[in-house]
Structure 1
Amino acid sequence: MKIAIACDHAGYKLKETIKELLLSLGHEVIDFGTNQEESCDLPDFIYPASLAIAKKECDKGIFVDGVGYGSAMIANKIYGVYAAVAQDPFVASLASSHSNTNVLCLGGKVIGEAIAIEIVKTWLNTKYLANEKKYTNRVEKVVSINNKHLKKDI
């Protein structure tokens, strides 16, 4: 799987740990930066990574900032990108199984490396419950909102 990864300065260290994990699991990783701990602006990295997912240049994305919400706010502005913030494996499993997300957002100031690794593994390995109508109905409604209010031009 080709995975876009991006962060700001607050998520840099955790992004690097996650990048190593993804590579060790055999995934192709496209790193959109940042590549340092100097203060920077989150949209400069999350926006292009989100576009790569929207354009189907990457299958999924994992974004890391201070608490995860900034990345999710940016990513969810892009047509076809469905981002969720997860602070534990349970939430990550629901983000995949119930919501069919294609972006996972993590907070480098909120969680440590060990829990982040478990969250990422859980999110990647949990399948969307596509045969359960209550989840497909919800996801279809979200996609409908996406299609109605976001521009497809990317």
Structure 2
Amino acid sequence: MRIAVASDHRGVELRRTVIAKLESLGHEVIDNGADGADSVDYPDFASVVAGKVSCGDVDRGVLICGTGIGMAIAANKFSGVRAAPCNDEVTAEISRRHNDLNVLCLSADLLSARVAERMLEVWSQTEFEGGRHARRIDKITSLENTNCGGSEPAH
């Protein structure tokens, strides 16, 4: 699998761990992250990875910032991207099974390298279940072209 990885300045160290782990699992990794500790803006890095996922240049992406939240918000602005911060193996697994998460967002401040490595194993190896979840993903996809307002939920 081709996986693009990026981080802002706060995630540089964890990004190195993430890249090594993904490569050890046999994935091709494209590194698009910040080079050092100088402050940078996470949307700049999220847009590179999310753009690659959106255009189909890579299969998935991993984004790292202080909490993972800012990266997820920025990445979700791209068509076809489903990004979310995960903080444990359970959310990493469920995000794949039920939500077909294609951009995993990690917290450099809250996760140990060991926990992040285990999450990457689970997330990269878990398949999307489809079925009722596919219907829901289709509905999310249809929201990408909604400008204002929405519709009443179907009951």
Q: TM-score, normalised by structure 2?
A: 0.91
CA separation in 2, counterparts of 1:14 and 1:49? Answer: 16
Match of 1:139 among 137, 140, 148: 137
CA displacement 1:56-103 (0-9 Å, x = unmatched): 111100000000000000000111111011000000111000000110
Q: CA deviation at 1:7?
A: 0.4
1:4-56 residue CA offsets vs partner (Å, 9 max, x unmatched): 10000111100110001111111111111112122111122111111111111
Q: Which has the larger radius of gyration?
A: 2
Counterpart in the other structure of 1:82:
82
- TM-score (normalizing by structure 1): 0.91
Matched residues in 1 for 2:34 and 2:46: separation?
10
Corresponding position of 1:122: 122
| Displacement after TM superposition at 1:148 (Å) | 3.7
Query: Aligned-residue CA RMSD in angstroms?
Result: 1.1
Over 6 Å off, 4+ runs: none
Structure 2 unaligned blocks of 5 or more: 148-155
Where in structure 1 are there 5+ consecutive unaligned residues?
A: 150-154
Counterpart mapping for 1:29-108 below 5 A = 29-108=29-108
